[in-house]
Amino acid sequence: MKYNTMTMCKGVLILIQAILWSTALGQGRHSETINTGWQFHKGDFRQDTKVEESDWQTVNIPHTWNQKDAFEGNGKYYRGVGWYRKAVIIPEDWKGRKIYLHFEAANQETQVFLNHEPIGHHRGGYNAFRYDITDIVQYGKTNQLRVKLDNRHNWNIPPLDADFTFYGGIYRDVHLITVSPTHFEMDNYASDGVFVKAEDLSEASGKLKVWGKVKNEEALTKRLLVKSVLKDADGHTVMETSQKLKLAQGTTTDFMLMSKAITQPHLWSPEDPYLYTVETKLIEQKTGKVLDEVETSFGFRWFSIDADKGFFLNGKHLKLVGANRHQDYKGLGNALPNAIHRKDMKLLKEMGANFIRIAHYPHDPEVYKACDELGLLSWSEIPVINDVTDTEEYFKVCTDMQLEHIRQNYNHPSIVMWGYMNEIFIRMVFNRKMTKEDKDAKIDATLRLARKLEDITRTEDAERITVMALHGDQVYNETGIADIPQLIGWNLYYGWYVDDIYGLGKFLDEEHRNHPERPLFLSEYGPGADTRINTFTPKIYDFSADYQRLYHSGYLTQILERDYMAGMTAWNFADFGSAGRHDTRPFINQKGLMNYDRQPKDVYYLYQSYLLKEPVLKITGGAFAKRQAMEGESGKGVCNQDVIIFTNQPSVELFHNGKSLGIKNALEKQVVFSVPFKSGDNTLKAIAGKTEDQLIISFDVVPQELSAYNFGEINVNAGAGYWFNDETTGEVWMPDRKYQKGQWGYIEGEPYRKDNRTWQGVPRNIEGTDNDPLFQNMRVNPKGYTFDVTDGNYEVTLYFVEPNAKVANESAIYELSASKQQNETPRQDVRIFNVKMNGKTVLEGFNIGKEFGAFYGVEKTYSVKAENGEGIQIVFESLHGQPLVSALKVRKQ
């Protein structure tokens, strides 16, 4: 056999690697994930009960049992007990070492058993926890690991209530960690046990401080050296510092290293997220053996906040702009691979953000790591949301949570704020049943808890800024809770939950005037938006991409012009699961700048235009690239529609099918062109300097005289002021219009409104369809719809939904609607009507509620013959109550 240099090198490499591995296992710290090949059982059973093999389903971690059911039926997902089990083999040669089981998180109450012995119980779904299993494991054998998990509501575990889904499961990585019996502290709230920070830091110089505890679990006294080496990003040693320790058997001692001043440290910032590495080793003096080792990414940076001037990083002013983020993802629930966590941070960074509010709970370790590496400053918080329980146990769980949260994440340079409460009085404010005494008691308990959490946070970390997020109510000022943290985040929804986008500035100015010493941040804002909904007349609560644009544009200008505002984080980076919501995509909070699958909504590019330095140019309306609309008054097969372009360039030229529509200046990062669309593909090309963007819009212009229409189909979204694009079929639905001779449209009737406040018709999940927006809005009491089509055979489909929950349904054939399980009595006949098409009765005595219950999407298709130039006449006749219709489709056969 002939060896060439390549194979020789490979051989040497393998040898070196083998030595490294053996040292890794023999000494030092070794960690490995044990995510693969678990078994899951949904439901509870007693430990000693034999469960059928078939009851176990093989799964991998990360895993949740709610990724499907939280998005089905009425959104009542399984909140209960689930069991996991796994056979874990512990190698013989781990004998003599310490062994730990480390869970990055599991939601929300976890009991862990190893070889049938209980080894730990953890409360709270978003922090890591770790157990010492050294004395229980059997070496060289299979160990039975079992985990009982419970995601039921629990009065002693926050969050008690919140607008997101509490998916159950072991949804973050599980690790086995081994260390030498003499090691850095392993039972310090599941942290690394080694903490780092910069001291006396300026541009000119700074020191490195490293501290923690060392534990000697060997049966002899140890003489040790703790040594930290600071390495730059290229791996060159910048500084070393060490301390000698003598530890008697079974004792624990503190260490603290302080380096000499490092001149001109390379500072960490969002623009330049420069990371050093601190390698901290625990070395046996006699042998020079490394007993334990922790590697920490480290950034030199300092910051401050000012009530008038906002946030400063490394002495320079920095307006913080970014978004909040929840940790779930379409189809996966909260069980995400690390790659998606990292991808999200990249998407935020690419949006131009320099900040993230990690809401409403600590996220995966990968998120914090990515923030350090990409340069995203952050606010990280624990999930004490909407309400508190006044028990010692609840307070203890909250304070433990904050301790875990801070200790586990202390070393990340990206974190600048620690939060601990969100809108904590919101339930109380809206609860009409609470007496004054109840409210006073609630306020008292909440203040006590806030003070406790504030104290703990400041004691743990005197440098980071403490923060709390409030909803727009004076109760926080009146009770004094807003004076507790160092920074106040307001969650304000002017132009969504309350009227007027420009109410924002007024509110903030008043707060700043009344509390001039208090730094302020806009921690949440945003409207729901569905990329399938597009309109040229955006309104509050219409869920259109267009209203989202108006809203964010208004918010960006108002915050950017106010120096005292430290920053702003949009609610939310992406759509997220919220099982209690019934918006246009049920069980999802749609306020994301991106869809649930991280496809950007148009506003993502608006942020880019505001925040990025490199040229940004984006023609909006990509999700509305297929259109059908009426020819304009001036005819010629042309339909003029506004096209909005986002850019950070001064001006933009737009070409339509190769023809220039002129050059326009940008105003608030936007340029508007009226485009004369024609049937067929319309190529839009925008040019600004050297940057180009292109969008092809396929258009079907429906002539004013319907008889001139080369009939494909006309799809009408009745009673809605928006277009609806069906993502699956590609069908486009136009808003309806009033009938005029020779054309098509409705005769009388009103758009359905559930109440005066909301524009969205039926804020409920419409079952039996994914096209909820098509059904949620409707026309009530129409006399009819007329289509002046040419003679021929047509197919007409009518779409209905019963929006009134109190419908008669006793004789409904199937229990179709989940609403029926909600016992909404008394039930009654709401409406009964006939529908005629060209004189023929096609629906007689139609009682939607009786037949289908409420909120169930109904479709009925008929064949109609248009004869003698009379077109199609659809007539609604009331027998009882008001008829209604959600949508109509007319197709030529």
Contacts 24+ apart (CB under 8 A), 241-244: 241/208, 241/210, 244/285
In the complex, minimum distance from the CB of residue 498 to ligand GCB, in angstroms, rounded to a whole number: 12
In the complex, minimum distance from the CB of residue 108 to ligand GCB, in angstroms, rounded to a whole number: 17
Rounded Cα–Cα distance for residues 248 and 90 (Å): 29
Which structure tokens are listed for 539?
């309104």
Nearer residue to ligand GCB within complex by CB, 384 or 718: 384
Q: Could you tell me whether strands 81-90 and 205-216 are parallel, antiparallel, or unpaired per DSSP bridges?
A: unpaired
For the question of residue 240 being annotated catalytic, the response is: no
Nearer residue to ligand GCB within complex by CB, 222 or 405: 405
Closest residue by Cα to residue 851 from 810, 879, 805: 810
Nearer residue to ligand GCB within complex by CB, 524 or 542: 524
Closest residue by Cα to residue 594 from 548, 550, 557, 558: 548
Nearer residue to ligand GCB within complex by CB, 758 or 828: 758
Nearer residue to ligand GCB within complex by CB, 400 or 524: 524
Rounded Cα–Cα distance for residues 622 and 616 (Å): 16
In the complex, minimum distance from the CB of residue 578 to ligand GCB, in angstroms, rounded to a whole number: 6
Please report which helix (H) or strand (E) contains residue 7, including its range: helix 5-26
Nearest residue (beta carbon) to ligand GCB: 163
Closest residue by Cα to residue 196 from 409, 340, 48, 405: 409
Any idea which residue has 């240099």 for tokens? 5
Nearer residue to ligand GCB within complex by CB, 120 or 580: 580
In the complex, minimum distance from the CB of residue 469 to ligand GCB, in angstroms, rounded to a whole number: 6
Nearer residue to ligand GCB within complex by CB, 90 or 367: 367
868 CA to centre of own chain: 57
In the complex, minimum distance from the CB of residue 571 to ligand GCB, in angstroms, rounded to a whole number: 5
Rounded Cα–Cα distance for residues 133 and 804 (Å): 58
Rounded Cα–Cα distance for residues 98 and 31 (Å): 12
Rounded Cα–Cα distance for residues 649 and 685 (Å): 15
DSSP-derived secondary structure letter, 331: T
Nearer residue to ligand GCB within complex by CB, 303 or 571: 571
Task: Report whether 24 contacts 32 (CB < 8 A).
Answer: no
User: Order of strands across the sheet with 303-306?
Assistant: 303-306, 310-313, 316-317
In the complex, minimum distance from the CB of residue 471 to ligand GCB, in angstroms, rounded to a whole number: 6
Rounded Cα–Cα distance for residues 653 and 671 (Å): 9
All residues at 6 or more sequence positions from 736 whose CB lies less than 8 Å from its CB, including other chains: 716, 717, 718, 719, 720, 745, 746, 779, 785
In the complex, minimum distance from the CB of residue 490 to ligand GCB, in angstroms, rounded to a whole number: 10
In the complex, minimum distance from the CB of residue 484 to ligand GCB, in angstroms, rounded to a whole number: 18
Nearer residue to ligand GCB within complex by CB, 425 or 709: 425
- Cβ count within 10 A of residue 283: 20
Exposed/middle/buried for 634, CB within 10 Å: 0-12, 13-18, 19+? exposed
Per-residue burial over 522-548, b = 16 or more CB atoms within 10 Å of its CB, e = otherwise: bbbbbbbbbbbbbbeebebbbbbbbbb
In the complex, minimum distance from the CB of residue 384 to ligand GCB, in angstroms, rounded to a whole number: 12
Give the SS3 label for residue 18: helix
> What are the E-state strand segments in 328-439?
355-358, 377-381, 415-422
In the complex, minimum distance from the CB of residue 524 to ligand GCB, in angstroms, rounded to a whole number: 5
Give the active site residue among 423, 454, 631, 767. Answer: 423
Nearer residue to ligand GCB within complex by CB, 422 or 777: 422
Beta bridge partners of 22: none
Binding site for ligand GCB (CB under 6 A): 162-163, 360, 422-423, 471, 491, 524, 571, 589, 591
Please report which helix (H) or strand (E) contains residue 566, including its range: strand 565-570
Radius of gyration of the chain (CA): 31
Query: Which residues are tagged catalytic?
Result: 423
